[in-house]
Amino acid sequence: IAGITQAPTSQILAAGRRMTLRCTQDMRHNAMYWYRQDLGLGLRLIHYSNTAGTTGKGEVPDGYSVSRANTDDFPLTLASAVPSQTSVYFCASRTDRGTDTQYFGPGTRLTVL
Amino acid sequence: QKEVEQDPGPLSVPEGAIVSLNCTYSNSAFQYFMWYRQYSRKGPELLMYTYSSGNKEDGRFTAQVDKSSKYISLFIRDSQPSDSATYLCAMSSSVNAGGTSYGKLTFGQGTILTVHP
């Protein structure tokens, strides 16, 4: 593979359930990001990681947590899902070449009922 | 006021037309300027990036940055039906938060483009 993979592709989840969205990259990029995309609100940053072992909060972190045990994987966890977390979630990584460009995965479409 | 403003369209043009997509911004600290293309139910795909004012060309695509006016554009020549997608502008900056910094992209709302045969 080349790039970023995300799993699952889509998921319907009952409110209150716990859910982990998976993200794996094979580009060995240090920085990784999680975004949600909602109609009318665009792409909003949830959490970021500058390098393995470190994470930070973005614009809309409430209700989400992340971990970065190694360079390749950056899972996003919803501890207790709520309907307002219905969205499309994108994982991204940033090149280390100094151009600030980010590369996105195919997304996970999540519906919380 | 949003840091990045992009006309959401939608924009509908005939095949072969020249398309102009635009964004304005207010933050002088933005460093790199990017254009992404997003097909329906897919992730954003990087098209082009630029750093300085001026033009950058890649095939049928030209990215233009005017830092003095805080204005960027993407031109698509000889547009094709396969160009039908949402186009997102994005701009990078470094954010200091809680003693650490991270690279941030600020996105426009996206312009929906349809090129009809």
pLDDT band at B67 (very low <50, low <70, confident <90, very high): very high
State the average pLDDT for chain A.
95
Minimal CA–CA distance to A74: which of A90, A88, A85? A90
A interface mutation test: which of B102, B106, B107, B111 has the most A CBs within 10 A?
A: B102
Is residue A1 predicted with pLDDT exceeding 70?
Answer: no
With an 8 Å Cβ cutoff, are B104 and A45 in contact? yes
- DSSP assignment of B42-109, as one string? S--EEEEEE-SSEEEEETTEEEEEETTTTEEEEEESS--GGG-EEEEEEEEEEEEETTEEEEEEEE--
> Using 50, 70 and 90 to split pLDDT, how confident is the model at B110?
very high
In this prediction, what percent of chain A has a pLDDT beyond 90? 89
- In angstroms, the CA A1 to CA A97 distance is 21
Instruction: Check pLDDT > 60 for residue A35.
Output: yes
Within 13 Å, how many C-alpha atoms sit on residue A62's CB side?
2
Per the CB < 8 A criterion, the answer to whether B6 and B108 are in contact is: yes
- Across the range A28-42, mean pLDDT stands at 93
Least Cα separation, residue B88 to chain A (angstroms): 9
Q: What is the pLDDT of residue B107?
A: 95
Quick one: pLDDT band at residue B101, thresholds 50, 70, 90?
confident
**Does residue B117 have a cis bond before it (omega within 30 degrees)?**
no
Binned at pLDDT 50, 70 and 90, residue B95 comes out as confident
Cross-chain CB nearest to A94 (options B41, B103, B109): B103
pLDDT at B103: 87
Q: Which residues contact A75 (CB under 8 A, 6 or more apart)?
A: A20, A21, A22, A23, A66, A67
Question: Across the interface, do B109 and A109 touch by the CB < 8 Å criterion?
Answer: no
Of B31, B46, B97, the CB nearest to A56: B97
pLDDT reported for residue A41? 86
Residue B10, chain A, CB below 8 Å: the answer is no
On the 0-12 / 13-18 / 19+ scale of CB atoms within 10 A, A98 is exposed
Q: For residue range A59-112, list pLDDT tens digits in order.
A: 999 999 999 999 999 999 999 999 999 999 999 999 887 788 999 999 999 999
Q: Provide the 3-class DSSP secondary structure of residue A11.
A: strand
Q: Is B56 in the A-facing interface, judged by CB distances under 8 Å?
A: no
Nearest to B87 by CA among B72, B101, B100: B72
Mean pLDDT of chain B: 94
Given an 8 Å threshold on Cβ–Cβ distance, is B110 in contact with A42?
yes
